[in-house]
Structure 1
Amino acid sequence: MTAMTQRPAQAPPLVLTIAGSDSGGGAGIQADLKTMLAHGVHGMSVVAAVTAQNSLGVQGYWELPPEAVRAQLDSVLSDIGVHAVKTGMLASGTLVETVAEVLAGVTAPVVVDPVGVSKHGDTLLAEEAVDAVRHALLPTATVVTPNLWEVEQLTGVKVVDEAGLREAAEAVLALGPRWALIKGGHLPGEPADLLFDGEREHRFTAPRHDNRHTHGTGCTLASAIASRLAFGDDVPTAVGKAKEYVTGAIAAGFPLGAGIGPVDHNWRHRAS
């Protein structure tokens, strides 16, 4: 009997995360890779920093040497390639500049989550690195996804209500990204986000779920956007689909440890 020959499988879209590791598994590279798997893309990772982290907060973090980050980038990009890139925690100005230098030569879409603090309020970006994010990293971004605290850190604009989202988006766009997605989830009322490219404005709303287990929402949203861009969606479509995914993941968030639990990246599978 002759064995049946299988056709080689075709690789799915390729998405690279450049971020920090979360030992608790709720955010960072761990959340990114879970999100990418849920979207049917092949996730790859460049570890920029390692955190000691659990449901109660970040107990410490350590940056990798720039040469280690550069070597990881070179290994992936020179052999495998990418259809989209997502950046998260980069920790220091040197690492931001290292990553930005490489991304300036990448033609695939880049989603920048300008991580400044954790869900628990722990600082994850050195003060001296903020200028590098502004002037080196943001100009490489197809989409940048700051929350309101990160908007204020990067631009000085303080948003107190939904009417201020447009001013925030304009201030972020002035730093060089093609699109700005201003996340307004911490404002009163129903969550509202604004996506803007200087001409086209898209607003996204979602129900507010009574669930405190929301660790990893920012990482998850940015990774979901990158995954959809890797499939060829335009930016507004990618953001809309990513928002739908994150809303479901928040609704299914679960307790873990004694503090804030994570969103459920596998909620669609559990619901099926």
Structure 2
Amino acid sequence: MIATTPPRILAIAGSDSSGGAGVQADIKTIAMLGGYAMTAITAVTAQNTRGVTGVETLEAGFVAAQVDACLSDIGADAVKIGMLGSPASARVVAERLDSFSGGIVFDPVMVATSGAVLADEETIAAFASLMDIATLVTPNLPELHALTEMPIGSVEEIGEAAARLAARHDTSVLAKGGHGDGARVMDILVAPGGEAMVFDDARLPGGHTHGTGCTLSSAIATMLGHGQALPHAVRLARQFVRAAIEQAPGFGGGNGPLGHQAVRALA
């Protein structure tokens, strides 16, 4: 049951000028799921449904100042981390959240849906410190391969790679299967001890999926903030994302945004 007092959710991510992904998707998701959204913006992008045309990264000290401003006053029940923009920002966020007692959901954003690179090799290397403190890491299949350098061609291989990542960083991993082939989407949740849970759904038609990763990670963080156990938080968040895809407004000439506003909050 959603609490009367909204959980406080801090989203640390980049800005998407077209509103489909990044902190804009985070804010919409958190609000629709009954949370109170705060943000620490790491970068500003010029992008739309067709792609990213520019990125301006904020200085790591200012990212830290935003995090400090939120946590020192309002506080937070859960944190979602998305695009970081630089290795310095990745390191400073890990430092600021090292003693954070709430849930931390880390979406290791490397490449935008349009194909634009959003994290260089040094930034990806700095992800390790964030995975070490995360409650959950949510890589898609290309990200899982980049983080483990393991094959991900089959369901068994995906599970093995997720288990390796979970054990290495003592965290849970949700390997997202949206980039896979076939008529069904299979996400695999693996605990640090190797226990696995599979979420299997029919693939939805249509190409309006811009911001699905941001939306999913924000939804999970919000559900953790509501006090849901991790497996149920993932289950509810996946339902929200699927409903938002089904309600996509069809905006733009490329991969359009989700219909966050058309989805009722989940209890």
- Both proteins in one fold, TM over 0.5: yes
Q: Matched residues in 2 for 1:253 and 1:168: separation?
A: 32
State the partner residue of 2:177. Answer: 184
Give the residue type in structure 2 aligned to 1:145: T
Give the residue type in structure 2 aligned to 1:132: A
Give the residue type in structure 2 aligned to 1:164: E
User: How many residues end up aligned between the 2 structures?
Assistant: 260
Tell me the secondary structure at the aligned position of residue 202 of structure 2: coil
Tell me the secondary structure at the aligned position of residue 228 of structure 2: coil
State the partner residue of 2:55. Answer: 61
Bigger CA radius of gyration: 1
For the 8 Å contact 1:194–1:201, the answer to whether it is kept is yes
Which one has more relative contact order, counting CA pairs under 8 Å at least 6 apart?
2
State the partner residue of 1:12. Answer: 6
Q: Deviations over 1:213-258 (max 9, x none)?
A: 1000000000000000000011001000101111111122232222
Q: Matched residues in 1 for 2:111 and 2:87: separation?
A: 15
Please provide the CA RMSD for this pair. 1.4
Q: Deviations over 1:49-86 (max 9, x none)?
A: 10011111011111111111111111111111100000
Give the residue type in structure 2 aligned to 1:250: I
Structure 1: give runs of 5+ residues left out of the alignment: 1-9
Q: Deviations over 1:107-150 (max 9, x none)?
A: 1110000000000111001221111102x111010000000111
Give the residue type in structure 1 aligned to 2:213: G
Q: Which moved more, 1:172-181 or 1:121-130?
A: 172-181
Tell me the secondary structure at the aligned position of residue 191 of structure 1: strand
State the partner residue of 1:158. Answer: 151
For the 8 Å contact 2:131–2:171, the answer to whether it is kept is no
Shift of 1:177: 4.3
Equivalent residue in structure 1 for 2:167, among 174, 180, 184: 174
State the partner residue of 1:127. Answer: 121
For the 8 Å contact 1:111–1:145, the answer to whether it is kept is yes
Shift of 1:157: 1.6
Q: Does 1:98 align with 2:116?
A: no
What TM-score, normalized to structure 1? 0.92
Going from structure 1 to structure 2, the CA distance change for 1:140 and 1:65 (only over 3 Å counts) comes to same
Q: Matched residues in 2 for 1:53 and 1:193: separation?
A: 28
Q: Matched residues in 2 for 1:126 and 1:232: separation?
A: 35
State the partner residue of 1:3. Answer: none
Tell me the secondary structure at the aligned position of residue 266 of structure 1: helix
State the partner residue of 2:22. Answer: 28
Structure 2: give runs of 5+ residues left out of the alignment: none
State the partner residue of 1:263. Answer: 258
State the partner residue of 1:6. Answer: none
For the 8 Å contact 1:96–1:137, the answer to whether it is kept is yes
What TM-score, normalized to structure 2? 0.94
